[in-house]
Amino acid sequence: MKPQLLNVLKHLALLGAFSGKIEVSSSDLASHLKVSQQTASRYLIQLEKQGYITRELGIRRQRVGVTTKGKTLLQTEYMMYKRLFEQRNRLYLTGTVFSGMGEGRYYTTLEKYVEQFKEKLGFIPVPGTLNIEVNPLELSKLHLLRSYKGIFVESFSTKNRSFGAVTCYPARVKDVNCAVIQPRRTHYSNVLEIIAPVNLRETLGLSDGDVIEVAVFVGELDEKPRGR
């Protein structure tokens, strides 16, 4: 859609045409938009022809309403702006669901990790991780993520072995709150490992090969970024 038409559609919605039909004249609209009456009239005709508004013509004024198609366009525009202004504290990454080596189930049941997850993330994770292979075009975002402080989960040792520290980042997949975990020692350089208080595969109906988007909430940059 041409920017001029989108601007007119936004203006009509703000006048009340989003929730119902309003009375408006071409001259009134022209005055608000600072264009000629002929131009304003042409914009309305184009919006109607393209299915974004409906018009009922009167003698001097007309009743105008935004159609479902017009509302969908405005809602899409709103989400784009919303994301733009939220990017200051979020990273959005897309990737493909895949099955890992099964280590996540073991590590997420270790008592020392579970205690810290509960204290610092506010939930006890379901055993296992949801593994996402990040889109190659977005690997720079994954590397950027590792430069943020995140929530630090401390390392610990048992009689038999030691377990490394983990950095966590609050996240959301669709409407489910979760956390991205970044082990200090990992087999992968292109993978997001996600823990959650529910089984994400079951809750969201996910299978290997599905492409999903993850919103990761970030804070301050780490003064000493971790190596890859």
Which tens digit of pLDDT belongs to each residue from 202-211? Answer: 999 999 999 9
Please say if the pLDDT value at position 46 is more than 80: yes
Cβ neighbour number for residue 198 with a 10 Å cutoff: 14
List pLDDT tens digits, range 10-23: 999 999 999 999 99
For 173, the token pair is 């997949």
Question: What residue ranges define each of the domains in the chain, with the CATH number in brackets?
Answer: 3-85 (1.10.10.10), 88-217 (2.40.30.30)
What is the average pLDDT across 19-44?
A: 91
Give Cα 150 distance to the centre of its chain.
Answer: 19
In this structure, what are the phi and psi dihedrals at residue 36, rounded to the nearest 5 degrees? -75, 160
- C-alpha–C-alpha distance, residues 130 and 13, integer Å: 41
SS3 of 12-28: the string is: HHHHHHCCCCEEECHHH
Predicted pLDDT of residue 186: 60
Cβ atoms 15, 76 nearer than 8 A: no
- C-alpha–C-alpha distance, residues 43 and 26, integer Å: 9
Cβ neighbour number for residue 196 with a 10 Å cutoff: 22
Residue 46, judged by CB atoms within 10 A of its CB (0-12, 13-18, 19+), counts as middle
Name the nearest CA neighbour of 151 among 224, 220, 199.
220
Beta bridge partners of 162: 157
Predicted pLDDT of residue 148: 86
- C-alpha–C-alpha distance, residues 92 and 155, integer Å: 28
List pLDDT tens digits, range 60-79: 789 999 999 999 999 888 87
* Residues above pLDDT 70, as percent of the chain: 91
List pLDDT tens digits, range 140-182: 888 888 888 899 999 998 888 888 899 999 999 999 999 999 8
